[in-house]
Amino acid sequence: MRLSVFLLIFVFVLVLPMTIFAAEEPMAPSKTHCRLSVTIDIDTSRVAGFVTVPAMAKAEVRFETGQLAVSGVTVNGRAVSALPRNGELVVVPDESGEIIVRFEGVFRGGENEGDRNYGVVSSAIDRRGVSLTGLWYPHPAFLASWTMTALLPAGFEAVAEADSIGRSPKQGLVEFVFEFGHPVESLSLVATDRYEVVRGRAGNIEIFAYFFREDRELVKTYLQHAKGYFELYEKMLGPYPYKRFSIVENFLPTGYSLPTYTLLGQDVVRLPFIPETSLGHEILHQWFGNSVYTDDRSGNWAEGVTTYLADHWYEEEKGKGWEYRKQLLVNYEAYVHEKNEMSLRDFRSREDLASRAIGYGKAAMVFHMLRKSSGDEKFFAALREFIRQKRFQRASWSDFEAAFSRETRRDLSGFFRQWIEGKGLPEISIDNADVRRKGDSFEISFDAVRKNYPLPVELPVDISFVRGGSRQETVKLDADRKRMSLAVDKEPLRAVFDGDYDVARLLTADEMPPVIARMAGEEKTLIVLPRTDRDRYRVIISDLVKRGGVEKEADTVKDADVRNATAVILGGDNPVVERLFGGSIKKEGGFSITVRRNPWNGAKVVAVIDAASTAEADAAYEKIYHYGKYSSLAFDKGRNIAKRIDAADRGIIWDLRQEAVVLDMALLKQLSSAIDAAADKRIVYVGEYHDRFSNHNIEAQVISALHRRNPKIAVGMEMFQRPFQGVLDKYISGEIDEREFLVRSEYFKRWGFDYNLYKPILDFCRREKVPVIALNIRNEIVDKVGKGGMDSLSDEERKELPSELDFSDEVYRERIRQAFALHHEPEQKNFDFFLQAQVLWDETMAESTDRYLSQNPDRQLVVVAGGGHLIYGNGIPMRAFRRNGLPYTVILNDGDIDPGAADFVVLPQPLDGMTSPKLMATFRETGGKVVIMDFVNDSPARKAGLRSGDAVIAVDGTPVTALKDVKLALYFKQPGDKMLVTVERKRFLLGEKVMTVEVQL
């Protein structure tokens, strides 16, 4: 008996295994034929009868009896003393002849028992009928052919494993005789008075449909599809092994494939897609599992080959074979981990999602790799020879190895040893891909890396070219790390490795979509509790805790908690959602689940579950685990109303080159054109290189031009931090002068660039009374996060953070990663902390932008910031847009001519400007003193007699406690002016000396 797997993606059922396991098979007479005679009593749910098997003298015969009552055992008509022990009966006859075992059993299934739990309730006798599968009679522990007779109430129709079925009245009942002349593992019996039997034919095969009267309209569709499947598989694998095949509807929720028929629960039969998918799977099992039997002592191979040539085959015919194979690998990675990993040799039947991913998914990929390496002709020839050699026998993986080795004339022992006996999947990655010109061609070079696999890997590569077209190659990875090169005659655009998923391997992080399966497969999850209405999630919390989840209050969740686990966040408006994804999750229906990549750990996901009520949660929650391939689901009163799979890479992708960008000089415009286009936008972003006067000149032109059109504008500036907004307001209003403004705003402490660069903008705003908005967060916060992450902040410091932080933008993350690799300071070793600091910076400025506009709906805002915060829009602009949806324009100074970088790129003429004079020395603040570290060439400070190690304690008589004091003093000087610098100098053995020198600036 063989259980088939229904990949019922849209059904809330779980098909569980129903496999009879064989111990070491004892000797049995050649061509053993057994008899089974039973009487069924519907009223008492009882089956009674006897089994007759041939025996040889002194040869032990074992029967599995389970919970059956054995009432007597005879050998050649003489009673013998033999009683079952631990569900097994052992008989050792003194002479050859026949053993008869009499038995009875009661099977009260209950009309509701096992509903929606396919395969659990395998046997029942009640007013609905008879469904006897599994251990319902004593099973001899060897393969045998059978004659079974069954007495049933008049009006019943019955089905069992048989090449012929006889039916005749007997003493007011009806007697069925089932003849099955082939060795088989076990028998089943299904009967009811509700059947209407319809006959069809596919070539020499009689096809029967045993459907309930109320489902008679389904029969035609099932028979038509069955005929197509038999034509397909006879052509592919050879003749159907039996004379008849029946499609049988069952009152129990079963999903079985048995020799000569399939037994499908009524709910399954009524699903519209079953004839187009699962029916073919059941029919294919007649070749694999129901005529060639699995030798489970060495692994169950039948589910893998049937999955490959049925479920996968149908998708491949639609051009979606790669999608199906990728889903198998997604499932493997989601459900299989170190504790539940097993080899294919150890797989017996599906016990859970992990064993399914191995026994069905990984095994299907093994057959796919065999097919790719053998070619279709030899692959199917090997399968046909395997079937011919092993029909009506038990077969093992070793028999497949022998068949494929003979057909391909290759030694496949290493392949089978690795894939059948080994655990896990190999990890394959590509590093350091580049292109160089080589004569009149191009050479692509890359490092191919493999882990957890000692054999050569044939890795397909699809190369597309800049000017169109593509080419397929295969590279042989025969080392754990290997530098490889490919020569191509055209400029390559992209290389995609294994984009069709022809290799069973672990997927890269970019290939793994964030799906429910990844949450469901976790051993331990972080459960982030909702702030309110916790009771509506009680069933969910209880189940997640049983699955190993750990509860935590939202306010106590740290970034490290999220980094170390897959998180399940309860409530779409949970504050942790805002911290991770920049706002609440959109709600749809009464219940929804959204799975996203974990921003802090690519191997994990974050699932956000939202329920409108307890009833909605209870009606939908359990169903989500049957939608493992999806990233988001929505339900209304337990009915699915929406589902989506988020995009992920197809294959291991390396972008090598891109077509050159051409600037049509005839289309060049003046700055005024960009200003005209930006005039009606609520936000105008202008990006700068901080140290270029030409950039600041453009900013001033944009501000003044927009002000002429609309005096109600404001200017937001990255250079000022939010706690100093009051100082800015007083300066713009004229309440304080420039010196006091610079001192109180701590400009020279908090911004490293000469104030002369920004003075024209501030002067204009002061003169025209244009509000200036401090956009930035305190640099103490950013610095602390950059070194220790947001978890290092105190509760008071956390109050300064934006309420929304979005870490989910992968393009932004990669851009920041590149910057980190090139420019990070030695003490900033942690990329996550660096990213947090950058996001915090951008989110604060976006929040400041949004806050001002929401409080001043009649104002237009010009945002002045470094180009890195604006390019491609994913710094400040998109984060502000997420909050308010207001239209905006991005203008970049000296930006890259790259599609999507900005709305306008300005190429200003170089421009010099007056800057503050400099001492041409480097300083270090220590112990409340400003100490000279070194000098730049031609330093006026050195010429005046200052030395390294001098501590500056005053300039022009004003005390110095920090470097900002020196910068402020220099700002109000002109080149050629003199500055009195007072220093404290340490002298060897003579102590400290205070001295003042005059420096010519």
**pLDDT score at 927:** 85
Q: Is the pLDDT of residue 20 over 60?
A: no
Residue whose C-alpha is closest to residue 222's, from 251, 243, 248 = 248
Q: 482 pLDDT band (50/70/90 cuts)?
A: very high
Q: Which amino acid is at 519?
A: M
Residue 709 backbone phi and psi in degrees, to 5: -75, -35
Name the burial class of residue 854, with classes exposed (0-12), middle (13-18) and buried (19+) by CB atoms within 10 angstroms of its CB: exposed
> pLDDT digits over 199-214, tens only?
999 999 999 999 999 9
pLDDT, mean of residues 647-660? 93
Residue matched to tokens 């054999």: 455
> pLDDT digits over 757-794, tens only?
999 999 999 999 999 999 999 999 999 999 999 999 99
Q: Percent of the chain at pLDDT above 90?
A: 87
**pLDDT score at 828:** 54
> pLDDT digits over 796-818, tens only?
999 999 999 999 999 999 999 98
**pLDDT score at 29:** 44
**pLDDT score at 823:** 67
Q: Is the pLDDT of residue 111 over 90?
A: no
> pLDDT digits over 958-988, tens only?
999 999 999 999 999 999 999 999 999 987 7
Residue matched to tokens 């129901």: 290
Strand partners, 147: 35, 179
Strand partners, 906: 893
Lowest mean pLDDT among 665-679, 812-826, 915-929, 986-1000: 812-826
Q: Is the pLDDT of residue 827 over 50?
A: yes
Q: Is the pLDDT of residue 292 over 80?
A: yes
Q: Is the pLDDT of residue 875 over 80?
A: yes
Residues with Cβ within 8 Å of residue 765, at least 6 apart in sequence: 703, 715, 732, 771, 772
DSSP 568-603: EEESTT-HHHHHHHSSPPPP-SSEEEEEEE-TT-TT
pLDDT, mean of residues 833-842? 95
Q: Is the pLDDT of residue 456 over 80?
A: yes
How many helices (H) and strands (E) in the chain? 29, 49
> pLDDT digits over 546-600, tens only?
999 999 999 999 999 999 999 999 999 999 999 999 988 888 899 999 999 999 9
Q: Which amino acid is at 713?
A: I
Q: Which one-letter DSSP state was computed for residue 957?
A: T
> pLDDT digits over 236-284, tens only?
999 999 999 999 999 999 889 999 999 999 999 999 999 999 999 999 9
CA angle, corner 856, sides to 852 and 857, nearest 5? 115
Q: Which two tokens stand for residue 859?
A: 């104002």
Residue 184 backbone phi and psi in degrees, to 5: -145, 160
Q: Using DSSP, state whether 515 is helix, strand or coil.
A: coil
Q: Which long-range contacts (CB under 8 A, 24 or more apart) does 936-945 make?
A: 940/999, 940/1000, 940/1001, 941/981, 941/999, 943/999, 943/1000, 944/981, 944/997, 944/998, 944/999, 944/1000, 945/997
Q: 157 pLDDT band (50/70/90 cuts)?
A: very high
> pLDDT digits over 321-370, tens only?
999 999 999 999 999 999 999 999 999 999 999 999 999 999 999 999 99
